[in-house]
Structures are given as C-alpha cells and as structure tokens.
Amino acid sequence: MKLLLGMGLLSILLLGCIDIEYNQDVDRSGNSVITEKINFTALIEASKEQNQTPPDYSSICINATKGRSDIYCAYEDGVVTVRKNFTEDDGNYVFEKSSEFPNIVYTLEVRRLPDLGNTDDLGQTDTSADFKSAEARNSAATLRAVAVKITYVVSMPGEIYSAENGKMVDGAAEFDVLERMSEGEYIVVKSRELDIVPLAAIGLAILIAGGLVVFFLKKK
C-alpha cells in the first residue's frame, strides 16, 4: 500500500478505484515469497476520459527499490508488481508445523501487511499496522471510502483445508484484507499433507513382520 505515492486519497476518490493483490507462497519451512500487484488501470482510463495525463506509475519502482537490493519491482500495462522473500522473523506472520497422524499440519497466521518498499505513505493511513489494532480499523475505513480494494491470497504446502473468514479459490485461500482489518482479525490458513516418515516406518515394520512370519512358517 505504501507504493501508492504521489496520488493522494482525493485523486483516487475522483478518478476511480485501485485493486491491490498480495500473493504469499509459503514453503514447508515457513519461508515465503510475497508478491504485491497494484492495478492502476481504472485510474489511467478515468484520467484519459477526463482528458488528463495519467501519473507516471513506473516511477513507483524507483522509490520501492531505493536502497533495497532485496526487492524486485516492475511496471507494465498499468500494473506494478513488487516481490520480496520473507521469513517468520520479519514479523508479518507466524508459521507453525505440527504432526497430526497421518498428516503434517501447517498453520499460517498473517498479522500485518508486509514491507515491500521504501516509499511515501498514502495519506494518513497506516497499512503496516497489526490487523487487530485501532490504527488498522481506521485505515480500512479510509481506504474503503475511496474505493481501494485489497485481496490477500495464500498458497501452502499440501492441501489447504481451512481459511478462517476467507474463501477457497483454485486450491488457494483468498481474503478481503480491509474486512479483516475492520473486524480486527488475523488471516489464518491451515493445510495438511501425508507425513511420509511415520507411514514409511509403519510400512517397513509390516514388511519385516510379514517376512518373519513367512520365515518361521517355512522352518516349520
């Protein structure tokens, strides 16, 4: 959200909406690749209809990557794409892995939007605030009023079977961020996959037991 520099809330209100989508792809160790896509197409078209020159949104990447070699940013056809690798230590989310035979269960709890660039804030909104904070609720109300939409999509190892207060779309979990901020709720996703190690051990034990039975029967 901090990538929306140079426009101001009034410009968004007058010209149209902005769609923002975060995609978090989590691996089995809890490390993530988070991608943010900001779609300015509606604003660009609205500017043209009013015979105005659209802002140079490509300059956003200059600000996003300033002094940051860990961030990828590109602009094409009205869409800014920003990407960065994250770990649980960055403080945006909590990741847990547990054994619930015969599965391994992965739990992701997203508590705030990630830092994806050093740029100006959008008005007085605090989009980096904890979802359960008063600052987050105030920011959500402001952004909704100017037709900003923020979607958060999570991909996890194995099969996602729980997306609290979200929905399942093509095997991923999808959430309305401003709704979660308004309600003071974290994004929580759970997935599971078969735990191969104990299953293999059980299979091996069965084979060994079967082999011993056959061996003793033959001796008799």
Is 174 in contact with 22 (CB distance < 8 Å)? no
In a domain, 182, yes or no: yes
Q: Provide the β-strand partners of residue 114.
A: none
Q: Give 148's pLDDT tier (boundaries 50, 70, 90).
A: confident
In a domain, 202, yes or no: no
Q: Convert the pLDDT of each residue in 7-34 to its tens digit.
A: 444 455 444 578 899 999 999 999 999 9
Sheet hosting strand 32-39, strand order edge to edge: 72-76, 79-86, 32-39, 18-26, 148-155, 172-176, 167-169
In a domain, 162, yes or no: yes
At residue 204, the pLDDT reads: 46
Give the mean pLDDT of the chain.
82
In a domain, 176, yes or no: yes
Q: Give 111's pLDDT tier (boundaries 50, 70, 90).
A: very high
In a domain, 204, yes or no: no
State which H helix or E strand residue 109 sits in.
strand 103-110
Q: Is the pLDDT of residue 202 over 60?
A: no
At residue 217, the pLDDT reads: 59
At residue 192, the pLDDT reads: 96
**Residue 116: Cβ-neighbour burial (10 angstroms; 0-12, 13-18, 19+):** buried
In a domain, 219, yes or no: no
At residue 120, the pLDDT reads: 39
What range does the domain containing 97 cover? 8-195
Q: Which residue has the higher pLDDT, 83 or 197?
A: 83
In a domain, 3, yes or no: no
At residue 121, the pLDDT reads: 42
At residue 132, the pLDDT reads: 96
**Domain count of the fold of the chain:** 1
